[in-house]
Every structure is written in C-alpha cells, then in structure tokens.
Amino acid sequence: MGKAKYILLDCDNTLCQSEHLAFEACAELTNKVLEKHGINDKRYTAESLLEDFVGYNFRRMLLALQPKHNFKMSDEELEEFVEAELGAVTQKLSEKAVECPGVTPQLEWLKKEGYPMSVVSTSALSRVVASLRKTNLDRFFPPEHVYSAATSLNPPGSKPDPAIYHHACKELGVKESECITVEDSKSGATAAMRAGIPCIGYVGIYGIEDGKEKMEQMAKLLTEETKCMAIMYDWKEFPEVLKKVEAKL
C-alpha cells in the first residue's frame, strides 16, 4: 500500500460544471462553420455536440467534423474559428461556471492531508483558469501546476493522447504510476490509462445532467473500456475511493 505523490484532476465536468456551457458556445460556432460550407441539413445543439464530441477540444472537434460532413477547412480558417471559440467559451465560463457538487470540501481535505494537487485538462489554459476562478477553486492550484493539452504542449494536443499527462508528470517531477487522477470522460480516462496513471472515474455529473441511466452507462464504460480502478458517484465518496485505489498501488 502506498500514498499517491500527486493527485491530478481533470477540470471540465470533474471539478467544474463547465462542459455544457462550453458546448453552448461551440454549437453556435459549429453551425456557422457548417453554414459557411453549404451544409444545410445539419445543425448542432449543445446536447448533440456533447453526445458526439464529449472530451474533445474545439480544434479536434472541427477536424472530426470535416470528414463526417464531407467538407474541408483551410488551416487559416481553422485557426480563426479556434480563436473565436476560445474567446466565446472563456467569456461564458467566467460568467456562469459552477463547481461540481461537493468538490470544495474534498479539495480542502486533500490539502489538509498533505496531498499536492494539479489540474490536467484538454481545454485551453484561459478556459480552465476562467472556470477555476469563477468557482474559487483556483486557490487550490498554483498557476504553474495547471496544465492544458491545448496550451502547454507544442504542438497542441488533446486527450485521449496521453501526452499532456506525461508532460505534467515530467514538470511535477513524479512518475505516472505514483499519481492518481480523476476523470469523467472516456477520452480523459483513456489518456490516463495510456499514460499508466491509476484513474478514478467520476460519473456524478451524468446523474446531474443526464439522469441515472446515463450515469450507470458511463460507470460501466469507464470500468470496462478504460480500466478505471474505481468509480465515484459523488465527491463525498472521494476519501474512501482514494484509499481503495492507494491500496492497489
């Protein structure tokens, strides 16, 4: 049995209820892209984008949309829309983001117990910072310990590629196997699995936003497909779940 040397935490829909807000802004811009390229029989809502692209950053989403709807964006156009999305999402999150229920008491507990913490996200750094500041969770994370696949990596990346986890562990001076992470999505948990980091799957957000059936579906997926070592339905379960995972280290 060993104590984790670092707790690595996803941000969107793990620490902060931000995914749906972000996808509202993404949907508006996605529909502009489709309209510009003459795709008139398809329009996205935040819900339908989440269904198809949860865990994706906007760049990866636009790259996936092109073969899906048979159109081609230039590199210049892609960058213009990525920049526009970042501004729109950051503004929305700075105004409306809230923490996932029960997060603050558990981060306070981790701090009291002496666990160092870091945020490891796919999303752009400005977006992550906006969510953390709006929810007042930024006080738990030194700015230099907030990592973004879209911003911290060169070239930018995205989960499920494990590169951002490898980068964070290198910067923090720890081995991947010495950490434990918390992820809510298949792409995030896959990145952790590929990086060799024990992962706790948080599915409580699905119960809040989508209902019990979706929550149980995600619990099964994260257990069977991405090999999460434990499933957490509510943040109040975190100390007990962490203890179980640490017992397996």
Let me know whether 107 and 205 are in one domain. yes
Let me know whether 32 and 53 are in one domain. yes
Structural domain contains residue 25: yes
Q: How many angstroms separate the Cα of 211 from the Cα of each of 10, 37, 196, 216?
A: 21, 36, 31, 9
Query: Total domain count for the chain?
Result: 2
Identity of the residue numbered 46: A
> What pLDDT does 50 receive?
84
State which of 29, 62, 96 marks the end of a domain. Answer: 96
Using DSSP, state whether 71 is helix, strand or coil: coil
Let me know whether 48 and 161 are in one domain. no
Per-residue pLDDT of 65-109, as tens digits, reads 999 999 999 999 999 999 999 999 999 999 999 999 999 999 999
Per-residue pLDDT of 138-165, as tens digits, reads 999 999 999 999 999 999 899 999 999 9
Let me know whether 37 and 121 are in one domain. no
Let me know whether 119 and 231 are in one domain. yes
Let me know whether 174 and 215 are in one domain. yes
State which of 96, 114, 149 marks the end of a domain. Answer: 96
For 179, list phi and psi in degrees, rounded to 5. -105, 165
> What pLDDT does 57 receive?
78
Let me know whether 64 and 186 are in one domain. no
